[in-house]
Amino acid sequence: MTRWNLPLDHLPSAWYNVLPRLDTPLGPPLHPGTREPVGPDDLALLFPMALIAQEMSPEPWVDIPGEVLDILRLWRPTPLVRATRLEAALGTSARVYYKDESVSPAGSHKPNTAVPQAFYNRQEGVSRLATETGAGQWGTALAFACAQFDLECMVYMVRTSFEAKPYRKTMMEVWGGHVVPSPVEDPTHPGSLGEAITDAVRDAAGRPDTHYALGSVLNHVLLHQTVIGLEARDQFGLAGERLPDVVIAPCGGGSNLGGLALPYYEDTDVRLVAVEPSSCPTLTEGTFEYDFGDTGGMTPLLPMYTLGHDFIPPPIHAGGLRYHGDSPIISQLVRDGRMEAVAYPQGKVFDAAVLFARTEGKVPAPEAAHGIRAAVDEALAAKETGEERVILFNFCGHGHLDLAAYDDYLNGRLLD
């Protein structure tokens, strides 16, 4: 067999919380004005108390509410697949597995956190959520989740993406979302994720019916994504496979990486690898310091690797990885040497994406292809030494709405 489905009654019923298990506790978020540690009340303008509690939770496990499970089971558990046809094409002695998060309605891992965020907000009486989106995966997921709980959804979309990807906008609208280009106040500006966060936070702070939702970076987001790694652990058991030697995922803000890798945190023999674009090398070339999450300096300061909150990444196709900062949890793991980080130019990433599509069938999102590139290189390294390396990576999204990028690649128009 090359694919393993968990029994459908084996959905994880609690999220894995890495916070109380970390060797080095995270520094607290700091208030953007006073630079003092923020408390729950400072965040209540933007988030429901349930999420604020999760952001700082000392509990090793956090129960997943039944109403959230009822939505997640529309597509979870997701398949674990052994990429035997990719292995054969590489002639490797490694065994390569991937977790297929592309099967969700929105086509990526993002609904894993969009659904609980919509649920907790609805539970506390909020009727509207504001957010930002870069490539569009997060906005799509939140629009889907809001439709499930009858919430309005307002999405500020990075202007270059808004113009280049009209179908992402349409997909959000199919689920009832509202989408506008960001920055709102300067129609000539191409936009960035940092700018769009500023727009969304300003919207939420200004309306009592509205909260803000973030698709990555924060602790509660990574917490919700741990369903990915928890399922993978069980599926490795079904496959009769030992622990992976290396767990790999692309890293923009860190949520799909955290989701797959954190449940392996305590298995210290398992290497954890973050993959980022060379053009936005936050973990590989940034500095570890307190910085704002947005360009406008409206968010709390977080302790993280950053390229500076005014860094505008070049317009690569993996829009979901164009972020100046990174998750504090991921940053701490890299700083402590528990996690490695590598960076690739997009040409090498698309080489791997097309190889994957032609062998395993599925067309990857450019973000997901970063993980494939690193997995291929791990498999080729194992081939050199004849080692039976076990590799697990996160196939975090399909590329059905990113085909313009493939057209550029196939016609020699891709810039590195």
Size of site (CB under 8 A) for a second copy: 42
10 Å CB burial of residue 383 (0-12, 13-18, 19+) is: middle
Distance CA 239, CA 78 (A): 15
Query: Considering only residues 75-104, where is the footprint of a second copy by CB under 8 A?
Result: 75, 81, 85, 103-104
Residue 351 in 3-state DSSP?
helix
Query: Considering only residues 126-145, where is the footprint of a second copy by CB under 8 A?
Result: 144
The verdict on 362 binding a second copy (CB under 8 A) reads yes
Residue 211 in 3-state DSSP?
strand
The verdict on 412 binding a second copy (CB under 8 A) reads no
Dihedral in degrees, nearest 10, Cα atoms 340, 134, 76, 271? 0
Side-chain-side CA neighbours of 234 within 13 Å: the count stands at: 16
Nearest to 168 by CA among 193, 139, 197: 139
85 vs 348 by CB, closer to a second copy: 85
- Shortest Cβ 190–a second copy spacing (Å): 23
- Shortest Cβ 173–a second copy spacing (Å): 5
Task: Choose the binding region for a second copy from 19-27, 46-54, 258-266, 398-406 (rule: CB under 8 A).
Answer: 398-406
Residue 132 in 3-state DSSP?
strand
6 vs 382 by CB, closer to a second copy: 6
- Shortest Cβ 105–a second copy spacing (Å): 3
- Shortest Cβ 407–a second copy spacing (Å): 4
For 274, residues 6+ apart whose C-beta sits below 8 A from its C-beta are 249, 250, 251, 254, 257, 283, 330, 334, 339, 340, 341, 342
Given 19, 135, 157, 171, the residue binding a second copy (CB under 8 A):
171
For 242, residues 6+ apart whose C-beta sits below 8 A from its C-beta are 236, 390
What letter does residue 319 receive in the DSSP assignment? G
11 vs 14 by CB, closer to a second copy: 11
Task: Choose the binding region for a second copy from 33-41, 124-132, 155-163, 402-410 (rule: CB under 8 A).
Answer: 402-410
Distance CA 367, CA 400 (A): 12
Task: Choose the binding region for a second copy from 17-25, 86-94, 131-139, 167-175 (rule: CB under 8 A).
Answer: 167-175
Given 5, 13, 24, 287, the residue binding a second copy (CB under 8 A):
5
Longest dimension (CA), the chain: 61
Given 291, 326, 360, 377, the residue binding a second copy (CB under 8 A):
360
For a second copy, the binding residues (CB under 8 A) are 1-5, 8-9, 73-75, 81, 85, 103-105, 107, 144, 147-148, 166-167, 170-171, 173-176, 354, 357-358, 360-363, 398, 400-401, 403-404, 406-407, 410
